[in-house]
Amino acid sequence: MNVVVIGNGVAGVTFARQLRKSTDHQITVVSAESTHFYSRPALMYVYMGHMEKEHLKPYEDWFWAKNRIEILNDFAQRINLRKKHVVLANTAPLPYDVLVLATGSKPAFFNWPGQDLQGVQGFTTMQDLDRLEINTKSCRQAVIVGGGLIGIEVAEMLRSRGIEVSMLVREESYWNTVLPPDESTIVNAHIREHHVELQLNTELRQIVGDDSGRVRGVVTTDGKIIPCQLVVISTGVRPNIDLASSSGISVVRGISINNNFETSEQDIYAIGDCAQFPDGRVEQLWYTARHQGKHLAGNITGKVTPYEREPFYNSAKFFDIEYQTYGTVPADLAGIESATWKSENGRKFLRLTHQYNRVCGFNALGIRLRSEVCLKWIAEGASVEHVIEHLHQADFDQEFTAVVKNIRLHRSVA
């Protein structure tokens, strides 16, 4: 059988690897962005000089040939559903028996005046990394539009090169659509501690250029003018559905799939950032893309079972503050009780959420929790008393550094 995967991100590659483990199918992975699979969340570290591009590859180059996974650096222009082949930009059409779309996502731009000026860019791909290198050659001031995870990463990157950064955030506090107020406030303070001009309640109205078409500043909705030589747009990403929709596959926000990853077309599946489930959700995380790829490989080689969302977990890093979250910790805590703890210097924070005295989630800032233990407590619906008493079991900090061993959580009065 001839299996073709479009997209060599973590979804496509995990699928291909898992499929290879249990079958002898011919597997081809096509991607336009890079010859080899690399870690997208690690792009920032190349700009900051922590790593080189080569370090971003999770597998050495010999891995692909050894596992008989053919990699093709090309752009898929169209899928011919009738002839069952993929039309490529530079090579002959690629026939498939099974086609997996793992085309990822694209940054969302909102048609601001001036967004096509030189020095305006997003930050999601290897090409964006190269572009940023060029755009910051003689850049002293930059504006980041949008908070969120990519925005704060870009702020850290630019600060590492001594560039003055203004960050425009629409909401009244950083990432408060996801973080509850305490957490969001801690991150606000930390962003400012790193000398980033955090402008809350502020949106972009337009970007201003000079005669040569280079950006030289932005105007915010409240009429403020901020001079800059670089604008990074990080107002979120949307599923990349270009290939699917132009080939006649059903799409809504993402590529429409059922819970078995099947698209509207026979033998064509979609996984990762680009796929949208029947309940309307899109899962746009590294972990979910990996789970989905693994699950689909299982479905193709064995019994078909519907994909079920794993208990939620995620992590990120806001400059020096690590963040981990498990289970249910909504930004709006109405109807959910919490027990919290905050360190004296204000950089470490722990929240345990519960309903009817059953633990349902954790948020940790500057503290490492043991994933296995937290997820077990949540799955079991462990009592708040039990968790507080056994909190040390969830310690995952370096030796001698443990925080959770010694802290007392304060239960909020509902």
Ligand X SMILES: Cc1cc2nc3c(=O)[nH]c(=O)nc-3n(C[C@H](O)[C@H](O)[C@H](O)COP(=O)(O)OP(=O)(O)OC[C@H]3O[C@@H](n4cnc5c(N)ncnc54)[C@H](O)[C@@H]3O)c2cc1C
Q: Considering only residues 134-173, where is the footprint of other proteins by CB under 8 A?
A: 140-141, 160, 162, 164
Kindly give the interhelix angle for 286-301 and 10-22, rounded to the nearest 10 degrees.
30
Q: Considering only residues 166-205, where is the footprint of other proteins by CB under 8 A?
A: 193-194
- Look up tokens 């000089």; give the residue: 49
Q: Which residues pair with 26 in a beta bridge?
A: 2
- ∠ CA 33-158-147, nearest 5°, is 80
Q: Which of 55, 68, 392, 405 binds other proteins (CB under 8 A)?
A: 55
* Total of residues contacting other proteins (CB under 8 A): 59
> Helix (H) and strand (E) counts for the chain?
10, 26
Q: Per CB under 6 A, does 40 bind ligand X?
A: yes
Q: Considering only residues 221-240, where is the footprint of other proteins by CB under 8 A?
A: 225, 227
Using alpha carbons, list the distances in angstroms from residue 101 to 72, 154, 172, 255.
Answer: 15, 28, 38, 9
Burial letters for 105-132: b for 16+ Cβ neighbours within 10 Å, e otherwise? bbbebeebebbebbbbbbbbbeebbebb
Q: Per CB under 8 A, does 131 bind other proteins?
A: no
Question: Is the torsion defined by CA of 81, 82, 85, 90 positive or negative?
Answer: negative
Q: Per CB under 8 A, does 9 bind other proteins?
A: no
Q: Per CB under 6 A, does 287 bind ligand X?
A: yes
User: Binding segment for ligand X among 97-105, 166-174, 212-220, 378-386 (CB under 6 A)?
Assistant: 97-105
Q: Per CB under 6 A, does 227 bind ligand X?
A: no
Which residue, among 138, 186, 178, has the nearest Cα to 321 in the 3D structure? 186
Q: Per CB under 8 A, does 133 bind other proteins?
A: no
CB 178 within 8 A of CB 361: no
32 binds, among other proteins, ligand X, none (CB under 5 to 8 A by kind): ligand X
* Total of residues contacting ligand X (CB under 6 A): 35
User: Binding segment for ligand X among 101-109, 159-167, 302-310, 353-361 (CB under 6 A)?
Assistant: 101-109
Q: Which of 19, 71, 100, 102 binds ligand X (CB under 6 A)?
A: 102
Straight-line distance from the first to the last Cα atom of the chain, in angstroms, rounded to the nearest whole number? 59
C-alpha 120/C-alpha 94 separation (Å) is 36
User: Residue 15 has which token pair?
Assistant: 């699928």
Q: Per CB under 8 A, does 276 bind other proteins?
A: no
Q: Per CB under 6 A, does 150 bind ligand X?
A: yes
Which residue, among 361, 393, 293, 261, has the nearest Cα to 19 in the 3D structure? 293
112 binds, among ligand X, other proteins, none (CB under 5 to 8 A by kind): none
Which residue, among 98, 103, 133, has the nearest Cα to 119 in the 3D structure? 133
Task: State the minimum distance, in angstroms, from the CB of residue 311 to other proteins.
Answer: 10
C-alpha 354/C-alpha 356 separation (Å) is 7
Task: State the minimum distance, in angstroms, from the CB of residue 276 to ligand X.
Answer: 12
Task: State the minimum distance, in angstroms, from the CB of residue 138 to other proteins.
Answer: 11
Q: Which residues bind other proteins (CB under 8 A)?
A: 10, 39, 41-42, 45-46, 48-52, 55-58, 60, 113-114, 140-141, 160, 162, 164, 193-194, 206, 208-211, 216-217, 219, 225, 227, 286-287, 290-291, 313, 315-317, 319-320, 322, 324, 368-372, 375, 396-401
Q: Which residues bind ligand X (CB under 6 A)?
A: 6-12, 30-33, 40-41, 43, 75-76, 102-105, 123-124, 150, 153, 240, 243, 272-273, 284-287, 289, 314, 316
